[in-house]
């Protein structure tokens, strides 16, 4: 009995690819962009302005230190007011595809918001395609004080002289007996 291999049935491959496209949103993938949430707080501790912009990363899942400093310099002035950086927060959803249903139904104690302590490179973990829009970098700025400080008001440092209390020195010669 001879088997003909002229026609190979590849319908199952097409069916698999169609089914796979339905679940493409649940696969973890690299982040190529993130949302920047810029929150400006005035001296009365009130939120003055909230800006949102998209940031395209030059390296997937990674914001370099230079890019971070550029973001801070661009956004430290708003409406002719200077702001200083108060806090950096990273919101990165790192659920796996099989954990999504459990996370939605149960009260999970996962915290996706993490504070960034240093102005340095920030790396994001891979995230499910469906949640790419939810990954954020939150920058909180606080308004700088424009009041000029009085130079006479205890802010002037005094010069300190380091010397001994006894300014008269006595030298004693020791003589050796021969």
Domain membership of residue 154 (yes or no) is no
Domain membership of residue 72 (yes or no) is yes
**CATH code (residue 124):** 3.10.20
Q: Decide: 6 and 24 in contact? Cβ < 8 Å.
A: no
Q: What is residue 158's three-state secondary structure?
A: coil
Domain residue limits at 105: 24-143
Count: domains in the chain? 1
135: number of Cβ within 10 Å: 20
d(CA 4, CA 62): 53
Domain membership of residue 120 (yes or no) is yes
Look at strands 136-143 and 33-41 and give their pairing.
parallel
**Entry pTM:** 0.68
Task: At 155, list the tokens.
Answer: 């802010």
143: number of Cβ within 10 Å: 19
pLDDT per residue rounded down to tens, the chain (178 residues): 555 555 667 777 788 777 767 666 677 889 999 999 999 999 999 999 999 999 999 999 999 999 999 999 999 999 889 999 999 999 998 888 777 777 777 766 678 899 999 989 999 999 988 888 999 999 999 998 865 445 555 667 777 777 666 666 667 777 777 6
């Amino acid at each position: 009995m001879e088997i003909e291999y002229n026609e190979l049935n590849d319908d199952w491959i097409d069916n698999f690819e169609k089914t796979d496209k339905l679940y493409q949103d649940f696969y973890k993938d690299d982040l190529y962009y993130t949302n920047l949430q810029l929150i400006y707080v005035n001296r009365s501790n009130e939120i003055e302005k909230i800006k949102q912009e998209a940031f395209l990363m030059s390296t997937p899942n990674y914001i370099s230190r230079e890019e971070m400093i550029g973001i801070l310099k661009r956004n430290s002035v708003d409406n002719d007011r200077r702001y200083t950086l108060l806090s950096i927060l990273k919101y990165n959803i790192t659920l796996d595809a099989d954990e999504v249903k459990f996370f939605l139904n149960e009260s999970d104690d996962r915290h996706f918001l993490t504070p960034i302590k240093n102005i340095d490179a920030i790396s994001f973990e891979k995230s499910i395609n469906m949640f790419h829009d939810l990954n954020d970098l939150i920058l909180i700025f606080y308004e700088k004080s424009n009041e000029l400080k009085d130079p006479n008001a205890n802010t002037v440092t005094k010069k300190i002289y380091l010397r001994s209390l006894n300014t008269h020195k006595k030298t004693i010669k020791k003589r050796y007996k021969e």
